[in-house]
Amino acid sequence: MNEMVTIPRKEYEGLREAAERLADLESFDRAKAMLASGNDELIPSEFANRLIDGENPVRVYRSFRRLTQKALADMSGVNRVQIADIEAGRNTGSVETVCKLAKALGVTINDLV
């Protein structure tokens, strides 16, 4: 029932490293499969850096999609002024509004909040 195996520390560390490499490879394979299936996309570093630097995600994804605020408003049904307020940080938008914007931008709600 409670069988134990004793192995040298060096062998144990080697097994742990191999398990970590396997987990990394599996994660890589999942990411490649998501890209290949169209369920995920690559974002150029210019846009990723803007997100990392804290720029408003609605503005970044709108820019990435090459949309004007008016075009996004037309696609999402959200008022252009409200989009401008969200991008400027004057308003966060309701859950319903963020859902509409996410759908129009082709991203998840988590990408925008």
Domain segments of the chain as ranges: 7-42, 45-112
- CB 107: neighbour CB atoms within 10 A? 18
Average pLDDT over residues 87-102: 94
Q: Find the helix or strand (DSSP H, E) in which 92 lies.
A: none
Topology, domain 45-112 = 434 Repressor (Amino-terminal Domain) (1.10.260)
Residue written as token pair 């309701």: 94
- pLDDT tens-digit map of 18-74: 999 999 999 999 989 988 888 778 888 999 999 999 999 999 999 999 999 999 999
Whole-number Å distance between alpha carbons of 100 and 94: 10
**What six digits make up the tokens of 73?**
């408003």
- How confident is residue 98, by pLDDT bands cut at 50, 70 and 90? very high
pTM of the model: 0.69
- CB 80: neighbour CB atoms within 10 A? 15
Whole-number Å distance between alpha carbons of 77 and 96: 11
